[in-house]
Structure 1
Amino acid sequence: MELFISKIVSSIVQIILFAFIPFLWWIITARKKQKFFEWIGLKRVDGGKKTAISIIIVSVAYTVLGALLLYIIKDVETATSDFAGVGTIALPAIIVYAVLNTSFPEELLFRGFLLKRLSNKFGFGAANAIQAILFGLMHGVMFISITGVVKAIVIIIFTASIAWCMGFVNEKNANGSILPSWIIHAVSNIFSAVCAAFSVF
């Protein structure tokens, strides 16, 4: 229960922190033109079967490659280390962690805010590359001193590649909705946290 409550509190803090700049930007530049949820991409998913298939393919790829990455860094403390060896009792906290604590705030900032705003200025191709690189750097740079440069670069390339795919699915298949990438991201995080909880690696 303590872990569950901790993840709820942490999620609220994360969402507020990650949404602050996008919300402020919206107030200054777009408040009179568009509702915030629509502007940030929290809207109905378009694309039907094509989008659904894309979500499944990227989710599977993310999970499979993620399993390999988890094995490579199995001795390194990560965000899922809180669940290490806890087992089924950790599942409620894992759901909160995966859906609200990590994937939602990160999707708001990277695919909801950065990708859309940069697309308006530089076009989708450049914007998607920029948000993907920044996403990769955010996830990999912190590991350089722990894992060494080579493993950190692997983490950066992996997370940046997935970020690029998620941006593509959102903007090209789902008409700008960030729900597909939120689903993909959450599924991957659930997998990695469950692996930690049951000491798979």
Structure 2
Amino acid sequence: MILMNQLISALLQVGLLMAIPFLYYVCSRRAFSGFFSWIGLKIGKGLPLKWMFILFTAIGLGVFIPYLWLYQTGCLTYSGFVVDSFLESGWSVQNILILVLWACIQTALSEEIFFRGFLLELFGQWINWGWANLLQATIFGLIHCFSVLNQSIGPIFLVVGLTAGIGWTLGWLKKTKSDGSLFAGILIHAGANLLSTVLVFCFLL
């Protein structure tokens, strides 16, 4: 039942964050064709493996100590049925599937579609892509402040800054190294989610 709830939740989030840019695209261009390419759901010229490795390593090293401090000081906690299910039955097959759905589909896929796909392209129609990338990254960082909204300014600034930095990096990767494709960013985002969650489950819960 928990696995089904996670699957439904993930699909609903992807559906919603895909529907918004799709409706914008159809209404503004009065056409369906070209949507997936416009938003970045395309293969491109191949994955920039070197840059993916560099950025994944940099993101991992750059956020590990700050987030470790946030968890150890109680400024940031994991909650939800992913955590509840893990605390109840540990590394079961069901919980691994739940974690993969959450990390890869509900967050990585949906967020890359909406922020690096939709918002970056939308803002890029009005301003140059560098400012567009900064703007989508800032919004991406700000929505993550809700996880530490009841904390002091320090943890809030840290979470927003780190998350915005990741958002900017993935936007840069899409535009300059991935031929406009989201797939490299989705893989990095999913990998970072999986790694951070496994570390939390193994050492901090």
Same fold (TM over 0.5): yes
* Map of 1:177 onto structure 2: 181
C-alpha deviation, 1:60, in angstroms: 1.5
Moved over 6 A (4+): none
Residues 1:193 and 1:116: Cα distance change in structure 2 (over 3 Å):
same
Q: Is the 8 A contact 1:70 1:192 kept in 2?
A: no
* Map of 1:29 onto structure 2: 28
Residues 1:70 and 1:40: Cα distance change in structure 2 (over 3 Å):
same
C-alpha deviation, 1:33, in angstroms: 7.3
Q: Does 1:52 align with 2:56?
A: no
Q: Does 1:117 align with 2:115?
A: no
Tell me the TM-score normalised to structure 1 length: 0.88
* Secondary structure of the corresponding residue to residue 91 of structure 2: helix
* Secondary structure of the corresponding residue to residue 125 of structure 2: helix
Cα deviation, 1:120-167, whole Å, max 9, x if unaligned, reads 22011110000010001011244121x321011001110111111100
Match of 2:202 among 194, 198, 201: 198
The structure, 1 or 2, with the larger RCO (C-alpha pairs under 8 Å, 6+ apart) is: 1
Residues 1:79 and 1:115: Cα distance change in structure 2 (over 3 Å):
farther
Q: Is the 8 A contact 1:66 1:192 kept in 2?
A: no
Structure 2 spans left out of the alignment, 5+ residues: none
Identity %: 26
Cα deviation, 1:162-186, whole Å, max 9, x if unaligned, reads 1111000101111110111111110
Structure 1 spans left out of the alignment, 5+ residues: none
Distance 1:79 1:180 in 2: 28
- Code of the residue aligned with 1:151 in structure 2: it is P
* Map of 1:64 onto structure 2: 61
Q: Is the 8 A contact 1:19 1:109 kept in 2?
A: yes
Distance 1:60 1:157 in 2: 18
Matches within 5 A, 1:1-201: 2-32=1-31, 34-46=33-45, 51-74=48-71, 75=74, 76-78=76-78, 82-83=82-83, 85=87, 86-89=89-92, 90-145=95-150, 147-200=151-204
* Secondary structure of the corresponding residue to residue 77 of structure 2: coil
- Code of the residue aligned with 1:167 in structure 2: it is G
